[in-house]
Structure 1
Amino acid sequence: MEYFNAFLCGGLLCALGQILIDRTKLTPAKILVCYVTAGVILGGLGVYQYLVDWAGAGATVPLTGFGYTLAKGAREAVQQHGLLGAFIGGAAATAGGVAAAIFFGFLAALLFKARPKH
């Protein structure tokens, strides 16, 4: 059932993004920012945790999960370091994922040649 919940949640988040692309004038970049911001807001309010508990990776892997991780890291760092934690917590919580994205993006750029679209 965990796999089904993850697939359902991730699929709904992706479907919502596709609907926003098809039916609105929002650019993909604006939708990305909205998803991350929604994850931060819902994570900061503690609401997103319920979705994570139910859907697991279906809630943590999409962009809203990145925002949730930023908020969770900042909240935990504030408890440990005070106000300074609000600035360092999000970066520390997401550093591994950001580093992996940069590394694998660089690796893909080395392995494949870019071609212009026709």
Structure 2
Amino acid sequence: MDYLNAFWVGGLICALVQILLDRTKLMPGRVMVMLVCSGAVLGFLGIYEPFRDFAGAGAGVPLLGFGNTLYQGIRKAVDEDGFLGLFMGGFTASAVGISAALIFSYLASLIFQPKMKE
């Protein structure tokens, strides 16, 4: 049942974003920022954790999960370091994921030899 919940929740999030992109004049970058900010707001309100427990990877993989990760990191760093944690927490919490994305995309570019569009 966990796989099914992850599939339909993640698919619903992606479908709603696609509808938003198709039916409005919002640029993709703005929609992505809205998703990240929504994840942080849902984390702040205490809604994201029960949502992620229900949906699993369907809620954790899209950009909502990244926004919540940033919020959790900032909250933890502010609790430990005070005001300075506002500037450190997001970097600390998301460093592994961002580093992995950069490393694996670089390795993929070495394997598949991408070319510029003409």
* TM-score past 0.5 threshold: yes
The amino acid of 1:113's aligned partner reads Q
Q: CA deviation at 1:115?
A: 3.5
Name 2:71's counterpart in structure 1. Answer: 71
Q: CA deviation at 1:52?
A: 1.1
Residues 35 and 64 in structure 1, CA contact (< 8 A), matched pair in contact too: yes
Name 1:111's counterpart in structure 2. Answer: 111
2:83 counterpart of 1:83: yes
Name 2:28's counterpart in structure 1. Answer: 28
Name 1:94's counterpart in structure 2. Answer: 94
The amino acid of 2:93's aligned partner reads A
Q: CA deviation at 1:98?
A: 0.2
The amino acid of 1:6's aligned partner reads A
Secondary structure at the counterpart of residue 25 of structure 1: coil
Among the aligned pairs, what percent are the same residue?
53
Long gaps (5+) in structure 2: none
Q: CA deviation at 1:117?
A: 4.7
2:3 counterpart of 1:3: yes
Name 2:40's counterpart in structure 1. Answer: 40
Secondary structure at the counterpart of residue 81 of structure 1: helix
Write the deviation string for residues 58-99 of structure 1: whole angstroms up to 9, x where unpaired: 111101100010001111122222222222111111111000
Q: State the superposition RMSD in angstroms.
A: 1.5
TM-score w.r.t. the length of structure 2 is: 0.90
TM-score w.r.t. the length of structure 1 is: 0.90
The amino acid of 2:81's aligned partner reads H
Residues 42 and 48 in structure 1, CA contact (< 8 A), matched pair in contact too: yes
> Quick one: distance in 1 between partners of 2:26 and 2:62?
18
> Quick one: distance in 1 between partners of 2:86 and 2:49?
19
